[in-house]
Amino acid sequence: MPNVCENSRVPLIELVAPDPAWPAQFADIEWELDAVFGSTALRIDHIGSTSVPGLAAKDIIDVQVTVASLDPTIVDAMVDAGFVHRDDIDTDRLTGCDQPDELRKLYFNERPGDRRANIHVRVAGCLNQRYALLFRDHLRADEAVRAGYAGLKGVIARAYPDDPEKYYDVKDPVMDIIFRGAEYWAATVGWTQ
């Protein structure tokens, strides 16, 4: 049973047990996005915690669409297809990154009434595009890192169930530290996207 706030609202940050249906749910979203993007999408990937088998997550499918550039026609096509454009989110956060162009993105949510999804459109070769894939693959490959990350997410979610800003303020720098380790892992195993 989820924690309930004093005013009986369900918390904004609620982690759920891993769901074996997440990959199939991603595939449905991927199919819809492929129809919108066509050849503009260089690749469409399942990212985030729901893409890592055995990892608890918020029950929201994260998707990364990799494109050659953040062309404004992407927003028109996605909105015309019913997706919700979040123009208030146009960049990612990464501790110590002093190259804002490496963190730019377009961000969308699902169509009203559809399965919850966060859709990140990022440019091929940019740091944020690589980050999402490397972070995912490192968690998939390293059980100890995955377990530590899961434990941390649980502690933070319980501490800040109604404050997403504080949740991400604590979680994001830890993700950046894990990413630095993932860079070493990638060089060691010859990882490529």
pLDDT of 51 above 50: yes
The DSSP secondary structure of 2-37, one letter per residue, reads ----TTSPPPSS-EE---TTHHHHHHHHHHHHHHHH
Quick check: 11 and 161 in contact, CB under 8 A? yes
Q: How many CA atoms lie within 13 A of 45 on its CB side?
A: 24
Confidence tier at 94 by pLDDT (50, 70, 90): confident
Number of domains in the chain: 1
Q: Is 10 within the bounds of a domain?
A: no
Main-chain dihedrals φ then ψ at residue 151, nearest 5 degrees? -60, -45
Q: Is 9 within the bounds of a domain?
A: no
Q: Is 1 within the bounds of a domain?
A: no
Confidence tier at 33 by pLDDT (50, 70, 90): very high
Q: How far apart are CA 70 and CA 180, in angstroms?
A: 26
Q: Is 142 within the bounds of a domain?
A: yes
Confidence tier at 44 by pLDDT (50, 70, 90): very high
Full residue range of the structural domain in which residue 96 is found: 15-189
CATH number of the domain that 144 lies in?
3.30.460.10
